[in-house]
Amino acid sequence: MRQIININNGWYFHKGTDKIKGVPRKADKSWINIKIPHTWNNIDGQDGGSDFWRGQSWYIRDIKVDMDYTQRAYLEFRGVSMLAEVYINGTKVCTHKGGFSTFRVNITPFLKKNKATISVLADNSDNNQIYPQTADFTFFGGIYRAVNLIIVKASHFDLDYYGAPGLEITPVINDDGSADIKATAYVTNPENCSLRFTTHGKTKNVTDTNAVFHFEQPHLWNGTKDPYLYEMTAELIKNGSVIDTVTQKYGIRSFSVDPDKGFFLNGKSYPLHGVSRHQDRLDKGWAISKDDHKQDMELIKEIGANTIRLAHYQHDQYFYDLCDESGMIVWAEIPFISVFMDTPAAKLNTISQMRELILQNYNHPSIICWGIANEITIGDTTNSLVENLNALNDLCHELDKTRLTTMANLTMVEMDSPLNKITDILSYNHYFGWYMGSVEDNGPWLDEFHKLNPEICLGISEYGCEGITAYHTDTPQMQDYSEEYQAYYHEEMLKTFASRPYLWSTHVWNMFDFASDMRDEGGVKGRNNKGLVTFDRKIKKDSFFIYKAFWSSEKFVHLCSRRFADRTNESVTLKVYSNCDSVTLFVNDHETETKSCNKIFIFDNVKLNTGENKIRAVSGEISDEIILNLTETPNESYTFKNDNPSLGEGAKNWFEGLPGLENIDTDGEIEFPEGVFTVKDKISDIIKNDEGKAFIDNMLEIITKEMNMSVSKGMMNMLKSFTVEKLFAMAGSRIPHSAYITISKKLNQIKK
């Protein structure tokens, strides 16, 4: 029978390949004893500077395999970032390109007296063939998911088929409400073998690899309301004995999407509202535990989400299992993201990563769509890119005829773009109210798109803004990084979605703060702070509770701005989020007011005493309490101190004084004369001109300095594909308009 033996312990690690000749076979004192999961970027990948170490590192471990000549031994790696070379006793046995999927290798021919030294070269170096290479998150290197030794008979359920489980289950609900469950097994060396499938008390013995079960009244997998799971076991039988077994859980459900009415589950309207999730954690990177995964799911369930976009790559099998068990509707995707690499190897990598994603996750009832790309047109749209997208879309339909395809486009993709019609359903990443425009711009954009494209099923795959728990204000404004503005922003987004039932899904970006080493936002280096929960999962921001109020049935009250403890005004406005019908406010144990509202309770003119004040919000037996201090001087730590006071409209011209710009008038209109460069030209085209390159280099140096940013090689590659106009549009009011005029007029002086 099959044995699965975890071998996470007993590994030795050597960072880098310096002083190592050939394939290492033994660890000396320079190696570190580690336990899998492991990453070498858990600290430098989260501290900012866009300088986390990318390169090759070695892992080695000795094993002894307890098996006989009738058996085969496989190594199973659940995740090695990004490229892995596996050696057994010094011989290369496998190369795997892709940092997020399971891969296995038959090591039987390479064992010596059933012993082996496993040497693994893990490589997260910059390259042009494996996605991702440019994205707004850190690419943690290492063997960061479990490693198993699997021992099977010579005849066994396939372990070589793209990391798939060897058993594929396809439930189909018929028009009369009954269901047919098709099971397909994949077998290595099937000669003289038969199969036995068992599910829910039903058994079928077959001589081929397929079986169909019929259920007259199936128990449906019905999302968070009733995530009922069946279990199927496939047994491989030879000479009357069971020699291998595979067990998989599955769910019976149907779904559809309507461009006017949104998502339907099992024939009933089921509006999808949820979050996106990255898998990293503070001081751990991607090397996280089952308990970490489980805590993430519990937090997502607490706010009442019913869908998760698992961005931007294949996640751990354990988390997909949790999604099945919790009834989450899942968008699963590959890391075809940000910057298109127009090489044959890179295209093949998107195909192989998609194939692995689908085949390894086919049986999960939670997954309803395969995401083929995210913001991949952020650079440019070429024929090669469109061909790649179409190839991925076709592959999804070839491998899985039961699910939909989707992709996430950035705001800059025009509403009438042909890209919007490649996949079955579509979503956009919009950041009106943070990077550009205002939060009120979201609704009109959605309505205009829906009017222009009434046949397209439209969703929102990302929306959000930074909320840093140290910053607080009575007058929240866009890009102030305050917890109060983030909460206000999400209030407005919930109102926007409530009146637009045509949206097939909405996914908050992001459930958790996550590492992005190139970032320096709000004085916090190396982090994207858009999470509803902090990176260490210790603080639920106020924005967490507005979603809980709208989505969860668990009764609660939450007093907002609890970290805004020091106040200077004797009269303050307090906000409570709750899904209760009414809330009563107490100040220093004195009842002040009772309000009946819908989710958001505002208490105006609340009087504070000098010193400490106990504030309590009560609804029946449920209550929440905070302490506010009335002080004479404001707490300066509550405000983000921008070291670059020139940010924003009306600020000084950043480029004043640069050679050649001394006499440029910053008044007037943007012009587009022939024969010279304009803001509509791509940066990549401008820098082909020597004078243009010198100017763009100076421009970007000043912009990044003034905006307190660092630019990695990957980010620079992305910027090259922007037009100057697009670069300034993305920056919005963070770059003064006078600087934009200056750049435009200078470009008009450079001949093509």
Active site residues: 375
Please, what is the end-to-end C-alpha distance for the chain in angstroms?
A: 71
Task: Choose among 133, 98, 47, 313: nearest CA to 715.
Answer: 133
**Tokens coding 101:** 């999927």
How far is the C-alpha of 250 from the C-alpha of 199, rounded, in Å? 10
What are the start-end ranges of the E strands in 109-192? Answer: 115-123, 142-143, 147-153, 156-157, 167-173, 179-185, 187-188
In this structure, is the dihedral angle defined by the CA atoms of residues 676, 678, 681 and 684, taken in order, positive or negative? positive
Element (H, E) at 516: strand 514-521
DSSP secondary structure letter of residue 337: B
DSSP secondary structure letter of residue 436: B
Q: Concatenated DSSP letters for 279-348?
A: --BTTTBT---HHHHHHHHHHHHHTT--EEEE-SS---HHHHHHHHHHT-EEEEE---BSS---SHHHHH
Cα-flanking dihedrals φ and ψ of residue 135, to 5°? -170, 165
How far is the C-alpha of 459 from the C-alpha of 445, rounded, in Å? 12
Cα-flanking dihedrals φ and ψ of residue 723, to 5°? -80, 160
Residue 622 identity (one-letter amino acid): I
DSSP secondary structure letter of residue 366: T
DSSP secondary structure letter of residue 92: E
**Tokens coding 517:** 């080493």
552-575 burial by CB neighbour count: b if 16+ within 10 A, else e?
beeebbbbbbbebbebeeeebebb
What are the start-end ranges of the E strands in 307-445? Answer: 307-310, 329-333, 367-374, 404-410, 426-429
Quickly tell me which residue has 């002083």 as its tokens.
19
How far is the C-alpha of 379 from the C-alpha of 390, rounded, in Å? 18
How far is the C-alpha of 549 from the C-alpha of 533, rounded, in Å? 16
If DSSP codes are grouped into helix, strand and coil, which group holds residue 140? coil
State the CB neighbour count (10 A cutoff) for residue 746: 20
